[in-house]
Amino acid sequence: MKLEGRVALVTGGSRGIGKAVVQALAREGAKVAFVYRSSAEAAEQIVKDLADENCEAFAIQADVASKADADAVVEQVMEKWEKIDILVNNAGIIRDGLLATMSAEDWQAVIDTNLTSVFNFCQAVTRPMMSKRYGRIINMSSVAAHFGNSGQTNYAASKGGIIGFTRCLATELAKRGVTVNAVAPGFIETDMTVDVRNAAGDQIKKHIPSRRLGLPEDISNAVLFFATEESSYVTGQTLAVDGGLTLGG
Ligand code: NDP
d(CA 185, CA 229): 22
Task: Look at the pTM and tell me if it is higher than 0.95.
Answer: yes
Report whether residue 90 contacts ligand 1, using a CB cutoff of 6 Å: yes
* CB of 11 closer than 8 Å to CB of 69: no
14 C-alpha to ligand 1 centroid (Å): 9
Mutation choice for ligand 1 from 19, 90, 191, 194, CB with most ligand atoms inside 8 A: 90
**What CATH number has the domain bearing residue 70?**
3.40.50.720
In a domain, 216, yes or no: yes
Report whether residue 238 contacts ligand 1, using a CB cutoff of 6 Å: no
Report whether residue 93 contacts ligand 1, using a CB cutoff of 6 Å: yes
The residue nearest atom 39 of ligand 1, judged by CA position, is 188
Ligand 1: which atom is nearest the Cα of residue 64? 19
Confirm or deny that 134 is annotated as ligand binding. no
In a domain, 2, yes or no: no
In a domain, 76, yes or no: yes
In a domain, 29, yes or no: yes
Active-site residue identified among 36, 134, 155, 233: 155
In a domain, 245, yes or no: no
What is the residue type of 147? F
Each residue's pLDDT tens digit in the chain (249 positions)?
A: 999 999 999 999 999 999 999 999 999 999 999 999 999 999 999 999 999 999 999 999 999 999 999 999 999 999 999 999 999 999 999 999 999 999 999 999 999 999 999 999 999 999 999 999 999 999 999 999 999 999 999 999 999 999 999 999 999 999 999 999 999 999 999 999 999 999 998 999 999 999 999 999 999 999 999 999 999 999 999 999 999 999 986
In a domain, 53, yes or no: yes
Domain total for the chain? 1
Report whether residue 12 contacts ligand 1, using a CB cutoff of 6 Å: yes
The residue nearest atom 19 of ligand 1, judged by CA position, is 63
Q: Determine whether 134 is an active site residue.
A: no
131 C-alpha to ligand 1 centroid (Å): 30
Confirm or deny that 29 is annotated as ligand binding. no
The whole domain housing 146 covers: 7-239
Backbone phi and psi for residue 57, each to the nearest 5 degrees, phi listed first:
-150, 155
In a domain, 102, yes or no: yes
In a domain, 244, yes or no: no
